[in-house]
Amino acid sequence: MLRRNRVRQQISIDISGATGVSPVQRVKHWRHASGTHRQRKGKAETVQIGRTMNNQTSCSQANLDQRESKLTMKQTLVILTALLLAPLTTSLYAAATKPNIVVFLVDDMGVMDTSLPFLTDEDGKPKRYPLNDFYRTPNMVRLAKQGIRFNNFYAMSVCSPTRISIMSGQNAARHHATNWINPDRNNRGPAGPPKWNWKGLKKNDVTLPRLLQGAGYRTIHVGKAHFGPRKFAGSEPLNLGFDVNVGGASFGAPGSYYAEQNYGLGTKRNRSAVPHLKKYHGTETFLTEALTIEANARVSDAVKSDKPFYLYMSHYAVHAPFHSDPRFAANYVDSGKPKNAQAFATLIEGMDKSLGDVLDHLEALGVAENTLIFFLGDNGSDAPLGHQHAVACAAPLRGKKGAHYEGGMRVPFIAAWAKTNSKNAHQKQLQIPAGVIQGQQAAVHDLFPTILGITNTASPASHTVDGLRLETLLRGKPDETRDETFLMHYPHAPHRSDYFTCYRRGDWKVIYHYYPSKASEGSNYQLYNLAEDPFESNNLAESKPDRLHLMMQGLIASMEKHDALYPVDKKDGTTPQRPKLP
């Protein structure tokens, strides 16, 4: 864990800011770096283009012959060049002016579920822990080497809140979908807020893909959705601004990862059968692989249509059920870990292979230099390695998915161009340093304004956005304009932790428990200094009363700012239980 001054030392790289590039320069570079899409389509289309050009040339030449006495040879060549290249230049410029965006989202992957170290020592250098040596994620390492990774990146503690935050740019406390969404029944819990947003995203909501769609992007959804219940609009990504949906539905856990089991269709988990993949049924194609094949095919379609694309690559992995991916099972047989933990590790490695396959496909299509990748998890680790409140599943961090500790909400985050080229027009606009670790705080709802900013896409003034743009941090610089806070609100039960709100400001973190329990040490309050105690072993709530009071003031103010909903009184079922100052 880094103090802010260590952060400044770690990222004090002199990275130049955005530079202006003329339209002509953009077109020249795009053609040089990527080649025209038409050239990548093969010889047949090249011949057809040649014929079209020849026809254009013949018509143009006939007109020129009639005025031959009035035109010099130089003028003739200029006119011919303009006639031949004008339609191509228009298409190339349109494609070159907007970068492609990939959000590569992994379900239930925490910051320690990787061989790539995110945590750092006191000097800001990456520090390996035993879990980094258990997992195998070479393609995450590959991506991080050419980009930047954040070691204080936060998500909500369960999946649907995070996913809707990415889509809306709002903290879950504001959009009110504060729990994972049960597809068939309202799961607010015994004392959860009655008006929480169980229905999730609505058909007319402002969403990131809808805005990008309006800006000319082909918007592609592949994998897990979990934006709304089964019978409501949010269950179908096509209602939310996506042009394409493969695999997305109302549920969060797949019926099966195995094509031999038809991904759950016809089994006891039939209601969670992954849709749109019937052509793989009965084969040996693992779910992660099938989704990757489909994603790459849809990207190819977008490239062929000369449209920039937004790919939301949202794997069901590594969510339970922990079905072992047979492609990687042998790698963990001698690990000494339980069978389900070995299976979890195969899901991690399969996801990582998918990342590599997507990167390779972008390179093969010639669009890698124009494609920006955001890699992240949707909540803390769900690794089956120990108690939910112990230092085990995300060791050395405490806790796991659903818990109020750091292991429940710290996730991996990497940003990088799929292929680096300092001369690329898009990369000149956003120069991401290679192999750097960013220590400042950021969170999932920051993606919304960041992607809109990078793509020069506007959001309606009436739509409240909690997220902050990340470009300065992505350039490897400190951003003093950012408020170093994070609010995580979970007013529900039952889960690994019940009815709680976390608030981090700088190095300090306070947790308010609306109903004290053994998990909260019998108190409403827990207080930690994450700079001195990154693994949350020393509760300072009693020994630092002034700091506790100050942090609780911040928590209460943040909740009010976000128009948060509160748990209710367990007796009358209606009276909101607001946090109280100590």
Task: Report pLDDT digits (tens) over 340-366.
Answer: 999 999 999 999 999 999 999 999 999
Token reading at 277: 């993949």
- CATH classification of 486-561 is 3.30.70.3270, yes or no? no
The residue-averaged pLDDT of 35-64 equals: 38
| pLDDT tens per residue, range 80-110 | 444 444 444 333 443 458 999 999 999 999 9
> What type of residue is 479?
D
Please check whether residue 415 is in contact with residue 432, taking contact to mean a CB–CB distance below 8 angstroms: yes
Task: Give rounded-to-5 percent helix, strand, coil for the chain.
Answer: 40, 15, 50
CA-to-CA separations, 200 to 99, 168, 186, 370, 427, in angstroms, rounded: 29, 11, 11, 33, 35
| pLDDT tens per residue, range 214-236 | 999 999 999 999 999 999 999 99
The pLDDT assigned to 75 comes to 53
The pLDDT assigned to 263 comes to 98
> What type of residue is 117?
P
Token reading at 376: 């992240």
The residue-averaged pLDDT of 542-554 equals: 98
The one-character DSSP state at 29 is H
The pLDDT assigned to 96 comes to 53
| pLDDT tens per residue, range 232-264 | 999 999 999 999 999 999 999 999 999 999 999
Instruction: List 171's β-bridge partners, or say none.
Output: none
All CATH 3.30.1120.10 domain ranges of the chain, comma separated, are: 486-561
Residue 224, classed as helix, strand or coil, is coil
The residue-averaged pLDDT of 448-464 equals: 98
Give 49's pLDDT tier (boundaries 50, 70, 90): very low
Tell me: pLDDT of 52 over 60.
no
The residue-averaged pLDDT of 165-183 equals: 98
| pLDDT tens per residue, range 286-295 | 999 999 999 9
The pLDDT assigned to 127 comes to 98
Q: Please report the beta strands in 392-472, taking only residues with DSSP state E, as ranges in sequence order.
A: 413-417, 436-438, 442-443
Please check whether residue 507 is in contact with residue 531, taking contact to mean a CB–CB distance below 8 angstroms: yes
Give 1's pLDDT tier (boundaries 50, 70, 90): very low
Return the closest-CA partner of residue 541 out of 501, 510, 565.
510
The pLDDT assigned to 399 comes to 98
All CATH 3.40.720.10 domain ranges of the chain, comma separated, are: 98-481
Crossing angle of the two packed helices 447-454 and 159-168, in degrees rounded to 10: 30
Token reading at 109: 């992957």
3-state SS string for 292-306? HHHHHHHHHHHHHCC
What would be the CATH architecture of the domain defined by 98-481? 3-Layer(aba) Sandwich (3.40)
Backbone angles phi, psi at 454, to 5 degrees: -65, -35
Tell me: pLDDT of 2 over 60.
no
| pLDDT tens per residue, range 309-347 | 999 999 999 999 999 999 999 999 999 999 999 999 999
Q: What is the dihedral of CA 416, 417, 419, 420, to 10 degrees?
A: -90
Instruction: List 315's β-bridge partners, or say none.
Output: 106
Instruction: Count the Cβ atoms, other than its own, within 10 Å of residue 17.
Output: 12
The pLDDT assigned to 325 comes to 98
Specify the range with the lowest mean pLDDT, choosing from 45-49, 240-244, 269-273. 45-49
| pLDDT tens per residue, range 275-285 | 999 999 999 99
Mean pLDDT of the chain: 88
The pLDDT assigned to 57 comes to 41
| pLDDT tens per residue, range 120-136 | 999 999 999 999 999 99
CA-to-CA separations, 373 to 11, 190, 355, 368, in angstroms, rounded: 20, 40, 10, 10
Return the closest-CA partner of residue 436 out of 13, 3, 129.
13
Tell me: pLDDT of 476 over 60.
yes
Distance (Å, rounded) from C-alpha 157 to C-alpha 226?
15
Instruction: Count the Cβ atoms, other than its own, within 10 Å of residue 93.
Output: 14
